[in-house]
Structure 1
């Protein structure tokens, strides 16, 4: 278990993950993680590459058809 401290990063707040924890979780700068709220606190998990690819396709579709989605939402 690691204890992390929240720190100011520009206008936001973030936490720095220790190098040994990054190595154990096979994470590197730029990787995406999910934070899930649970009854016991927060759960930090890695995001499968397949999920990340699906999200990126969804973002592209939302951008491409933004006007159509806006019209449907009315």
Structure 2
């Protein structure tokens, strides 16, 4: 567990992430982080949750038209 202190950054408030936390998130300066609400609270991740939704839609499409894709592959 990491305790992070809120700090003034210009007209905003932010947190400074320690190097080890950045390494665990596999992010660096300039990368985008996403905050999602979970049953246990908030989650901070470098993974874009909307991208997962798009992947799942693609998977469903491919399942639905599996036979068509097989025929096209021949």
TM norm structure 2? 0.57
Could you list the runs of 4 or more consecutive aligned residues of structure 1 that deviate by over 4 angstroms after TM superposition?
none
Instruction: Give the match for residue 63 of structure 2.
Output: none
Ranges in structure 1 where 5+ consecutive residues have no aligned partner: 52-74
Task: Deviation per CA, 1:29-60: give whole Å up to 9, x if none.
Answer: 01011001233221101135xx4xxxxxxxxx
Count of residue pairs the alignment pairs up: 51
Higher-Rg structure is 2
Ranges in structure 2 where 5+ consecutive residues have no aligned partner: 52-74
Instruction: Give the match for residue 24 of structure 2.
Output: 24
Secondary structure at the aligned position of 1:29 is classed as coil
Superposed CA RMSD: 2.2
